[in-house]
Amino acid sequence: MQALQILNNVFGYNSFRSGQEEIINMLLNKNNILAVMPTGAGKSLCYQIPALIFKRGTIVVSPLVALMDDQILALKEIGVSADRIHSHRGDKLNKETINNFKNGKIKILYLSPENLMSDKTLTELSNIDIDMFAIDEAHCISKWGVSFRPQYEQLSKLSTIYPNAIIAGFTATADKITREDIVKKLNKNDTKIFVQGFDRPNLSLAVEQKDNWKKQILFFLENKSKESGIIYCLSRKQTEDVSIFLNKHNHRSIPYHAGQEGTIRKKNQEIFMNEEGVIIVATIAFGMGIDKANVRFVAHLSLPSSIEAYYQEIGRAGRDGHPADTLLLYGLNDLFQRRRFIESDGENIQHKLRENKRLDSLLAYCETPTCRKKSLLAYFDEKVKECKNCDNCINPPKMLDGTKLAQMVLSAIYRSGQIFGAQHIINILLGNKTEKILQKNHDKVKTFGIGSDYKIDFWQGFIRQLISAGHLIINIKKFGCLQITESGYQILKDKEYFNYKKIETKKSQAPKLKIMKEALNLDANSIEILSSLKQLRLNISKENSIPAFVVFSDSSLVEMATVRPKSLQEMLKINGVGPSKLKKYGPIFLTVINK
């Protein structure tokens, strides 16, 4: 009951989302937990509400300064006594904050793992009882996970230093072994693992062969000009190039990558967070801790490192629950590049094996001819019905017998000694008399020119499918040459068939985003009000230097524009309006609504 009251009266939300109440109750009953919930499920509330009920303090471990700052702003905005300690704030402020935590003025203290586990902080905190440690992005503690951070490893000492405190881990991405590893590292044997379904029904999924990314991305962006979105690129330079290209085509966009000067990066992030219709073109450096709920699309211009990474990145779209589109474009070169990354990443063979396996799973997902949602969630051990919303459900791919074509490729590889990359093999198939072909006498092999009925794009896609199906491997140690596997030999010897997905080289097949207006069913009047409310929100956010979503979320504004409250009392019923925000912003928003 108390938890629900806090949800209503402090956070201003009407009801719990799925899983939240259960987790809160587990924590109130002093259980150690590991909660795995999809992005946008509302993990923060799960520890913030118990933290407000507990007598003593709660420490939240969070990896990123920007994330901490946003969370604290949002909490202060609703009158919750929370603060953070980090290096950007200076010793004096940090000291003051820790004193406030010690004497109970602050109930929730946010810290980075390295800061918390430093001797200095541990000594400062040594005399205080702490009720709970909430560990955000808990997968960073596991080497099995996708983004291991050595600083997180130190957290395994917490259970010894604070045997009476609850340890609650939260993550959006952890497969079974990673979950078990996290629990082991957090060293609480009695930890209860809570896994909330991974399904995000509002996300549409699409994967396409990359043949002309410029055309493909422009097609994807049609009807999305007023929406915010993220486009992920592999390199820093690519983010700059893509951003310039999009701006030229009237899509307002800004680049973001770790090589930018700090102030520029911060400014770009702020523009994206606060303004409407901005596309951020970023490397994977962007995202962790991005709290923008109304991201309407995420596109990848190259292959992510794994399904976990992909799921986390697309998960940044549609956190408000409204429809959002995703598109992954990938080509043969991306695949080579990924394998190369893995090969050059240290000496640990087990690690490389694991990363290669992860990449294989992602490829299998990319090439699946069946429902993508099904395939994606199966990876996380979850069964769902067909989504009817992905490219494969909307446009089921045609499967064709490709045994003969596969034999042509395999034979060209075999006859040229299995020491050449895809480009050279395709030149053999097409009958191109390149310098290298002539030099190696490959114009004399039997397969020379045998595939000239098809174009280069076709062969790239076809070879990619052979690799994804495990009939060919890329040997990175031998400069990325293609080699035939056991199953590949079976096809070559005519003992196995090979079916392939028809290769479309036409324009994009990606499903189109239902325009928000239609999805929300707003009438013209409501749209006008909504636009004024968004402008008001932007003004307030600029005046007070706070992110727009900290003032009100999009969902709250949409509700205001449709319900059109007439009094403060009616305003309080809007989801996301609690007493604190009502007092601060209620009157001015009411004026705009009823103008």
* Binding region for ligand ADP (CB under 6 A): 13, 16-17, 20, 37, 39-45, 291, 293, 319, 553, 575
CB distance 359 to 382 below 8 Å: no
Nearest CB to ligand ADP, comparing residues 42 and 323: 42
**What contacts 24+ positions apart, CB below 8 Å, involve 538-546?**
538/274, 538/275, 538/276, 540/585, 540/588, 541/274, 542/274, 546/73, 546/77
- Site of tokens 């801790």: 289
Report the nearest approach of ligand ADP to the CB of residue 555 (Å): 7
Nearest CB to ligand ADP, comparing residues 154 and 575: 575
Strands 166-171 and 295-300 come out as unpaired
Nearest CB to ligand ADP, comparing residues 6 and 117: 6
Nearest CB to ligand ADP, comparing residues 233 and 577: 577
Cα–Cα distance measured from residue 482 to residue 480, given in angstroms and rounded to the nearest whole number: 7
Report the nearest approach of ligand ADP to the CB of residue 450 (Å): 52
Nearest CB to ligand ADP, comparing residues 16 and 232: 16
Report the nearest approach of ligand ADP to the CB of residue 135 (Å): 13
Residue 117 φ/ψ, nearest 5 degrees: -85, 5
Q: How many CA atoms lie within 13 A of 251 on its CB side?
A: 26
State the angle between helix axes of 43-53 and 20-28 in degrees (0 to 180), rounded to the nearest 10: 30
Nearest CB to ligand ADP, comparing residues 37 and 116: 37
Residue 510 DSSP label: P
CB distance 172 to 153 below 8 Å: no
Nearest CB to ligand ADP, comparing residues 14 and 505: 14
The residues with which 464 forms a beta bridge, in sequence order, are: none
Residue 1's H or E segment, with its range, is none
CB distance 447 to 430 below 8 Å: no
Detail the DSSP E strand segments found in 53-159: 57-61, 82-85, 108-111, 130-135
Report the nearest approach of ligand ADP to the CB of residue 317 (Å): 12
Report the nearest approach of ligand ADP to the CB of residue 298 (Å): 14
Report the nearest approach of ligand ADP to the CB of residue 248 (Å): 34
Report the nearest approach of ligand ADP to the CB of residue 11 (Å): 7
Residues 6+ apart with CB under 8 A from 69: 84
Neighbours of 557 (CB within 10 A): 25
Cα distances (angstroms) measured from residue 250 to each of 219, 244, 246, 253: 13, 10, 6, 9
Nearest CB to ligand ADP, comparing residues 253 and 553: 553
Nearest CB to ligand ADP, comparing residues 15 and 235: 15
Report the nearest approach of ligand ADP to the CB of residue 74 (Å): 7
Report the nearest approach of ligand ADP to the CB of residue 549 (Å): 7
Alpha helices in 275-371 (DSSP H): 307-314, 332-343, 349-367
Nearest CB to ligand ADP, comparing residues 12 and 229: 12
Cα distances (angstroms) measured from residue 278 to each of 272, 287, 316: 6, 15, 15
Residues 6+ apart with CB under 8 A from 426: 451, 456, 459, 460, 463
Report the nearest approach of ligand ADP to the CB of residue 28 (Å): 16
Q: How many helices (H) and strands (E) does the chain have?
A: 29, 18
Nearest CB to ligand ADP, comparing residues 509 and 575: 575
Report the nearest approach of ligand ADP to the CB of residue 274 (Å): 15
Q: Which residue's C-beta sits nearest to ligand ADP?
A: 42
